[in-house]
Amino acid sequence: MTKFNASIAAAAAALLLSGNAFAASLQPATGEGPFFNEQPAVASSLQRADVRADASGHMPAAGELNAQADAVQGSAVTRAEVRQQTREAIAHGFRPAAGDA
């Protein structure tokens, strides 16, 4: 029985000590391997002053209620005309999407 316990203890010790060897993955960790999809660096035709001037004209939104709404353009079609066009479309087989289908 002691021989059996000794062999189990030796196997457990071998497993515990070899854990680091089995912990390595097959793929390199992020940033450690080569990047195979490298694209050649493209030089920008813009100068730093041009970029800064453009950025100063488009300041980032800050604060509350800062959104700028687009101007609403009035429609040239009346409500009655829209209803009539809808009726004609339904009469010609067009059905508005409804339900899960």
Rounded to whole angstroms, the Cα distance separating 8 from 16 reads 12
20-47 pLDDT per residue, tens: 666 666 666 666 666 666 666 777 888 8
So what's the pLDDT on residue 9? 77
61-71 pLDDT per residue, tens: 777 777 776 77
pTM score, whole prediction: 0.28
Alpha-carbon distance values, 83 to 45, 55, 75, 77, 90 (Å): 53, 46, 14, 10, 11
So what's the pLDDT on residue 43? 79
So what's the pLDDT on residue 92? 93
Which residue has better confidence, 101 or 69?
Answer: 69
